Amino acid sequence: MILERFLGAARRCLLPAKAQRASEAGQLLRYCGLVLGLGLGLSSTAHAQTPLIAGAISSDTVRLTLPDAEARFVQNNLQVLAQRYNITAQQALAVQARLIDNPTVTLDQNALQQAIHRQGAVGDNPDLRRNQVAIQAQQLFSLAGRRKAAGRVGQQAAVVEQFNLEDLVRNLRFQLRTTFYDIHYRQQTLRVYDAEIPQLRHTVDLYQSQFEKGNIALKEVIRLKAFLFTLETERVGLVTDQANSQADLHILLRDSTNAVYRPITNPDRIRNLSLGAYPEQQLIDTALVRRADLLSRRAEVQRQQLNLRLQRAVATPDLAVGYSYDRLGSYFDNYNSVTLGMAVPIFNRNQGNIQAAKAQINSAQALAAEQQLTVRRDVHEAYQIAQRQDELYQHTSRDTTPFSRLIDNIEQGYTKRLISIVEYLDFYEAYKNNVLQLNTLRANRMRAFESVNLSVGRVMLKAE
């Protein structure tokens, strides 16, 4: 319908208008060009708008609180589940490293001549018709606590993976919480567009009919339509951003339905959220104890230290203990013996792996020290940004009621020609920008608070 009205106005621009003065001819041509341009723009975006809005209408709306979202996230998120499998795998490898080596058993059986007949044997004495059999058994024993050291290294690797899981949850929880609040405040902004656009469409229809009767100039109609087109374009951009955020939330919660989530918040708790109870140094100290990425670096240092102990244990050769039995193959029958074997550490004393383990300890310690500096800096930056955002929020008027009360009076005043079109559109623009900037400020403030939680490694500031 909007496109048809634009094309109708464009056709009227090409016909002589009785109500237009000659001095407005040049301006009229410029407005006609604007109408044609807007018509082409609407025709190109009409198909893009329809599926998005239709999909939003046909989808079910699900009310979602932040605690419910976090519970579903921890239970269902695929990245978290994958990292849990990594921990299980490392724990299984630690168990494998502690296992004792299996014994080796060798059987030697004479296959060609089943019996040995000694020269001069007489009769059917069974002792003179025996088969040749040789049996060997060997067991390898690790010395210097090699198996125990290998098990500790494997177990420490599982600890590193556990901290990696916590760090993954920390980052994904930040994404979940910020997406939750972004969707909430974007929905508040969309309500303004959903209220303004139908009202402005009604005004455009009224003035279109008045123009057709020759009561008003074409330029007012075109200006109203241009402003309406701007609002609709901005709304499409917000709807697109909202759809992307909804998709991110579905992935985080592993939800394959087409439901549209409607975040439910507590405005009073959000309004009262403050950094006053948490000094910056306290948050830094908490981060140095709780940040999973820093704990992972420290656990990696311990893993490399355990690996050095393992490599030193590997330098001690293993002991092979064996037993052998030979029925007829030795210088006397039924030969029994015990064997002991060990590699002589003359050339290879595992010195290369020991030096490499020492270098890896130094590398892990350097990375841990760097991560500790990063944690301190992250908390400081997040705290300063949150302070500035909260201060701006506290000193900004958050009451949009005066604008809401005036909108009806402005509409009536413009209809009665008491105010000009410039004043009318300026008020609409001011009202829209006021709500848009206020919701953006609210979203940025909550994102800043969530950045503090992210930098600390613990949800300290929460409004749910």
Give the tens place of pLDDT for each residue, 259-268. Answer: 999 999 999 9
- Phi first, then psi: what are they for 217, rounded to 5°? -80, 155
Structural domain boundaries in the chain: 59-112+130-456
Q: Is there a contact between 431 and 405 (Cβ–Cβ < 8 Å)?
A: no
Rounded alpha-carbon distances, angstroms, from residue 44 to 81, 156, 223, 233, 325: 44, 60, 20, 12, 92
CATH for the 59-112+130-456 domain, from 1.10.760.10, 3.40.190.10, 1.10.357.10, 1.20.1600.10: 1.20.1600.10
Rounded alpha-carbon distances, angstroms, from residue 64 to 55, 73, 263, 449: 19, 12, 5, 20
SS (H, E, C) 156-182: HHHHHHHHHHHHHHHHHHHHHHHHHHH
At 398 the pLDDT is 62
Task: For the beta carbon of residue 176, count every other beta carbon within 10 angstroms.
Answer: 22
At 21 the pLDDT is 37
* Helical ranges in 398-420 per DSSP H: 401-415
Rounded alpha-carbon distances, angstroms, from residue 364 to 157, 165, 303: 14, 19, 9
Pair of tokens at residue 101: 């080596």
Residue 337 is classified by DSSP as E
Helix, strand or coil, per DSSP, at residue 61:
strand
At 207 the pLDDT is 82
The CA distance from 182 to 176, in Å, is: 10
Burial of residue 58 (number of CB atoms within 10 Å: 0-12, 13-18, 19+): exposed
pLDDT tier for residue 14 given thresholds of 50, 70 and 90:
very low
- Chain-centroid distance of CA 158 in Å reads 22
Rounded alpha-carbon distances, angstroms, from residue 346 to 311, 321, 324, 356, 372: 17, 21, 28, 20, 43
The residue count of the chain comes to 464
At 50 the pLDDT is 35
The overall average pLDDT reported for the chain is 82
- Phi first, then psi: what are they for 223, rounded to 5°? -65, -40
Q: Based on C-alpha coordinates, what's the Rg of the chain?
A: 40
At 434 the pLDDT is 84
The CA distance from 249 to 187, in Å, is: 15
Quick one: average pLDDT of 178-200? Answer: 91
pLDDT tier for residue 390 given thresholds of 50, 70 and 90:
very high
At 13 the pLDDT is 38
Bridging pattern class, strands 335-342 and 104-109 = unpaired
Task: For the beta carbon of residue 178, count every other beta carbon within 10 angstroms.
Answer: 20
Q: Is there a contact between 279 and 460 (Cβ–Cβ < 8 Å)?
A: no
pTM for the predicted model, two decimal places = 0.77
- Phi first, then psi: what are they for 11, rounded to 5°? -65, -35
- Phi first, then psi: what are they for 235, rounded to 5°? -65, -40
pLDDT tier for residue 333 given thresholds of 50, 70 and 90:
confident
The CA distance from 166 to 153, in Å, is: 20
pLDDT tier for residue 195 given thresholds of 50, 70 and 90:
confident
Q: In this model, does residue 5 exceed pLDDT 90? A: no
Q: In this model, does residue 419 exceed pLDDT 50? A: yes
Summarize pLDDT for 79-134 with one digit per residue, the tens: 999 999 999 999 999 999 999 999 999 998 877 655 555 444 445 555 556 778 89
Rounded alpha-carbon distances, angstroms, from residue 155 to 96, 290, 297: 11, 21, 15
Which range scores top for mean pLDDT: 181-195, 208-222, 408-422?
A: 181-195
Q: Which residue has the tokens 């621009």?
A: 13
Summarize pLDDT for 346-381 with one digit per residue, the tens: 999 999 999 999 999 999 999 999 999 999 999 999
Q: Which residue has the tokens 């579903």?
A: 72
Element at 326 (helix H, strand E): strand 319-326
At 196 the pLDDT is 83
> Which is more confidently placed, 427 or 408?
427
At 370 the pLDDT is 97
Q: In this model, does residue 20 exceed pLDDT 80? A: no
